[in-house]
Amino acid sequence: MKLTIEEVQKRFPDFEIELVRDIVNVAEIKTCQKGEYIQRKGQYIRSILVIFDGLVKVLRENSNGNYFFMHYVEGGQAFPLTMIYGDRQETSDVTAIAFDKTVLISIPLSCMEKWMKEYKSWYQYVLDTFRERVKELLKTLDNIVFLNMDERLVVYLKHNSEILQSKNIPVTRTEIAKEFNSSREVITRLLNKLAAKGKIKMHRHFIEVVDL
């Protein structure tokens, strides 16, 4: 698969045509299926990763295999951690998994510093990327510090529904428990409370949002 200038311009309309040509010339394209690992914690970062199409879930994982949901990366957005190391090879501090079929653009790390100097639109794109991630981290911190578990669960379900633009969220109780670093029993109890109030409907492989 090879990107065209027209495809890149459509996805990134603010990029200068010279930058678009550079992206087309150097970018490698990879398609990931739902559930496929895009980046594992501890894996070397060898390129700048940009989501061209699809949705990726970013998780913070500990040495015991437990993890905590951090944020999503959507089409047109980049992984900020792959942008901050320049041409140095560092390992990833997070795990990233394709939430659905996803098309990635892989750009050589050496392009980062060069494009920051040459293209105003790339400079702004990088700043916007970090600004959005800081906002997401602050929201996550607020949820942990100021909300109890059932309130966090409501926020999580509403956010997923908005991101997916769907009332049906393809996630299981076990997956939510892992992302909350909680137990399946606790999450099940909280979901059942929401279902009893008519806020959601429980299905085997997805949760239907009714009125949150």
pLDDT at 88: 67
State the average pLDDT for the chain.
91
- Looking at the fold, whether 36 and 69 belong to one and the same domain comes out as yes
- Looking at the fold, whether 45 and 86 belong to one and the same domain comes out as yes
Among 112, 128, 144, residue at a domain's last position: 144
Query: 154-167 as b/e, with b when 16 or more CB fall inside 10 Å?
Result: bebbebbbeebeee
Task: Give per-residue pLDDT as tens, 43-91.
Answer: 889 899 999 999 999 998 877 777 888 889 999 999 988 888 656 678 8
What is the dihedral sign for C-alpha 68, 41, 45, 107? Answer: negative
Give the domain range for residue 177. Answer: 148-209
CA 50 to chain centre: 11
- Looking at the fold, whether 51 and 154 belong to one and the same domain comes out as no
- Looking at the fold, whether 199 and 157 belong to one and the same domain comes out as yes
- Looking at the fold, whether 89 and 162 belong to one and the same domain comes out as no
Question: DSSP H helical segments within the chain, as ranges?
Answer: 5-11, 17-26, 111-118, 120-146, 149-164, 173-179, 184-196
Domain count, the chain: 2
- Looking at the fold, whether 112 and 171 belong to one and the same domain comes out as no
pLDDT at 179: 86
Predicted TM-score (pTM) of this structure? 0.84
pLDDT at 69: 87
Give the CATH number, domain containing residue 203: 1.10.10.10
Task: Give per-residue pLDDT as tens, 148-166.
Answer: 999 999 999 999 999 999 9
pLDDT at 204: 86
| Percent of the chain residues topping a pLDDT of 90 | 68
Using the predicted structure, report yes or no on whether residue 145 has a pLDDT greater than 90: no
pLDDT at 85: 66
- Looking at the fold, whether 152 and 134 belong to one and the same domain comes out as no
Among 94, 118, 144, residue at a domain's last position: 144
Among 144, 167, 182, residue at a domain's last position: 144
pLDDT band at 212; cut points 50, 70, 90: confident
Lowest mean pLDDT among 25-39, 85-99, 137-151, 152-166: 85-99
CA 160 to chain centre: 11
- Looking at the fold, whether 121 and 49 belong to one and the same domain comes out as yes
Average pLDDT over residues 24-31: 95
- Looking at the fold, whether 74 and 133 belong to one and the same domain comes out as yes
Average pLDDT over residues 159-177: 92
Between CA 5 and CA 11 the distance in angstroms is: 10
- Looking at the fold, whether 37 and 19 belong to one and the same domain comes out as yes
DSSP assigned state of 76: T
Give the CATH number, domain containing residue 59: 2.60.120.10
- Looking at the fold, whether 56 and 139 belong to one and the same domain comes out as yes
Q: Tell which wins on pLDDT, 124 or 71.
A: 124
Using the predicted structure, report yes or no on whether residue 10 has a pLDDT greater than 60: yes
- Looking at the fold, whether 117 and 186 belong to one and the same domain comes out as no
